[in-house]
């Protein structure tokens, strides 16, 4: 009998990668109170992300890039794909009657979802940035969807109210992002670590490609829009100069895509820190606490990192209003600590 080629033999014996659907089912009992609702919610997000991915990937070919010439409440120009992505996620979640409330960067106020079924079936609210970094769309740079999921705090026999959304980040039951990049990835946590899934576009299936994601023990990448340098707090100006000094023979590396999900994802894999301080134009910072910073902060801490506003944990910040902004520093724990110290000492 011909000797088996060990290389081929090894290749054919590799276990097939787990799909996102299998992973969700396998881990749904981590939730004492989940009746499979959270799994259905994550599956709805998975489905919506494929529809958005399809449009993002062909954006240059159809009339779906560029601005709608509408301004959202954040005073930012709504890109056509922003509006499209928002509709896709909203429809996917409402049609399945899995959530009792929906909030989005593209919606002025939260959307009450009164289910025809007994409301007690829908115990979750979701907050999303449907297409973060969308100003990059017509330059073919990566963009992403960010989502944050809470269990409602008001009685399920009443429609959802603002207090269900204005919860501290520490109450999140799940958070994640979809990165529409060179490959499309869905990365999420339910409080038991961070796992990354890569879409096989030929099959339309997400496969577990990055199990138990953790920051490297150290990092040397800093991501910040240095164009705002003159308006940064003194401590951040000093920190930027510190990054440019030789440490262990070399300075830190500056990388900034202008898309939070892309910059965060790269820093998580390679080790680094993302900074969006207060500026003259955005004295409270530019990023939104509820649907950008809290979900990314949850992921960062679950991956062994940290996320602060320069004074304390992002996840502990009290929320006063839906589109609240905050300064945001997120990445390797040691690098975030360095930033906090520069801010404290200045
Ligand atoms: P700037 C995109 O609009 C975003 O919210 C983040 O994704 C990104 O990191 C940041 O703003 C970019 O802002 O002011 O540097 O263009």
Q: What one-character-per-residue DSSP string does 70-108 give?
A: EE-TTS-EEEHHHHHHHHHHHHHHHHTT-EEEEEETT-S
Calculate ∠ Cα 101-103-109, nearest 5°. 100
H or E element, residue 260: helix 260-270
Q: Using a 6 Å cutoff on CB, does residue 161 contact ligand 1?
A: no
- Residue 288 Cβ inside 6 Å of ligand 1? The answer reads no
| Protein residue closest via CA to atom 9 of ligand 1 | 260
| Calpha distance 172→26 (Å, rounded) | 20
Mean pLDDT of 86-90: 95
pLDDT tens for residues 191-204?
A: 999 999 999 999 99
143 lines ligand 1 (CB under 6 A): no
Ligand 1 centroid from CA 133, angstroms: 6
Query: Given ligand 1 and candidates 131, 260, 291, 293, which is best to mutate, with the most ligand atoms within 8 Å of its CB?
Result: 260
Is the pLDDT reported for residue 118 higher than 70? no
Find out whether the beta carbon of 135 lies less than 6 Å from any atom of ligand 1: yes
Proportion of the chain above pLDDT 90, given as a percent: 69
Looking at the predicted structure, is the pLDDT value of residue 332 above 80?
yes
CATH architecture for segment(s) 221-344: 3-Layer(aba) Sandwich (3.40)
Task: Tell me if 286 CB under 6 Å of ligand 1.
Answer: yes
Model confidence pLDDT, tens digit, residues 167-179: 999 999 999 999 9
Check if 74 has its Cβ closer than 6 Å to any atom of ligand 1: no
**Best of 144, 259, 273, 284 to mutate for ligand 1, by most ligand atoms within 8 A of CB?**
259
Q: Is the CB of 225 under 6 A from ligand 1?
A: yes
> Using 50, 70 and 90 to split pLDDT, how confident is the model at 97?
confident
132 CA to centre of ligand 1 in angstroms:
8
Q: Which residues pair with 200 in a beta bridge?
A: 205
Rounded to the nearest integer, the mean pLDDT of the chain is 89
Q: How confident is the model at residue 315 (pLDDT cuts 50, 70, 90)?
A: very high
Given pLDDT bands bounded at 50, 70 and 90, which one contains residue 137?
confident
pLDDT beyond 80 at 30:
no
Q: What are the sequence ranges of the domains in the chain?
A: 20-210, 221-344
Rounded distance from Cα 137 to ligand 1 centre (Å): 13
Residue 36's pLDDT band (boundaries 50, 70, 90)? confident
Gap from CA of 24 to ligand 1 centroid (Å): 31
User: Which residue has the CA at smallest separation from atom 15 of ligand 1?
Assistant: 225
Q: Is 245 exposed, middle or buried (0-12, 13-18, 19+ CB in 10 A)?
A: exposed
Q: How many CA atoms lie within 13 A of 342 on its CB side?
A: 21
Residue 148 near residue 127, CB atoms below 8 Å: yes
Q: List b or e across 170-203, with b for residues whose CB sees 16 or more CB atoms inside 10 angstroms.
A: eebbbbbbbbbbeebbbbbbbeeebbbbbbeeee
Residue 59 · residue 83 · CB < 8 Å: no
Is the CB of residue 260 below 6 angstroms from any atom belonging to ligand 1?
Answer: yes
247 beta partners: 250
Q: What pLDDT does residue 1 have?
A: 57
Is 132 touching ligand 1 by the criterion CB < 6 Å? yes
CATH homologous superfamily of domain 20-210?
A: Fructose-1,6-Bisphosphatase, subunit A, domain 1 (3.30.540.10)
Q: What is the pTM of this model?
A: 0.91
Atom of ligand 1 nearest to the CA of 292: 5
Q: What is the percent of the chain with per-residue pLDDT over 70, rounded to a whole number?
A: 87
The stretch 212-237 carries a mean pLDDT of 96
Task: Report the pLDDT averaged over residues 95-119.
Answer: 82
């Amino acid at each position: 009998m011909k000797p088996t080629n060990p290389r081929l033999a090894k290749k054919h014996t590799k276990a097939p990668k787990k799909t996102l659907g299998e992973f969700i089912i396998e881990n749904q009992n981590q939730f004492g109170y989940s009746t499979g609702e959270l799994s259905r919610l994550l599956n709805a997000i998975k489905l919506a992300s494929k529809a958005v991915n399809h449009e993002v990937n062909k954006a240059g070919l159809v009339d779906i890039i560029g601005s709608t010439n509408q301004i959202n409440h954040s005073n930012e120009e709504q890109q056509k794909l922003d509006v499209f992505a928002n509709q896709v996620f909203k429809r996917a979640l409402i049609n399945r009657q899995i959530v009792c409330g929906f909030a989005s960067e593209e919606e002025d106020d939260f959307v009450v979802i009164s289910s025809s079924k007994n409301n007690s079936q829908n115990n979750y609210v979701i907050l999303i940035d449907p297409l973060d970094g969308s100003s990059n769309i017509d330059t073919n740079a990566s963009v992403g969807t960010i989502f944050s999921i809470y269990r409602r705090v008001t009685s399920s026999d009443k429609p959802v109210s603002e207090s269900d959304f204005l919860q501290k980040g520490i109450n999140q039951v799940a958070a994640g992002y979809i990165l529409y990049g060179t490959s499309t990835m869905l990365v999420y946590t339910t409080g038991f670590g961070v796992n990354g899934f890569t879409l096989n576009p030929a099959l339309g299936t997400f496969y577990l490609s990055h199990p138990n994601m953790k920051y490297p023990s150290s990092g040397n990448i800093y991501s910040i829009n240095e164009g705002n340098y003159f308006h940064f707090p003194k401590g951040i100006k000093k920190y930027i100069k510190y990054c440019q000094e030789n440490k262990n023979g070399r300075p830190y590396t500056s990388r900034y895509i202008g898309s939070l999900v892309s910059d965060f994802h790269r820093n998580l894999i390679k080790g680094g820190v993302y900074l969006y301080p207060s500026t003259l134009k955005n004295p409270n910072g530019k990023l939104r606490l509820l649907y950008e910073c809290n979900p990314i902060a949850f992921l960062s801490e679950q991956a062994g990192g940290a996320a602060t506003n320069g004074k304390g944990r992002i996840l502990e910040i009290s929320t006063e209003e839906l589109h609240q902004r905050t300064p945001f520093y997120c990445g390797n724990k040691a690098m975030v600590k360095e930033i906090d110290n520069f801010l404290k000492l200045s």
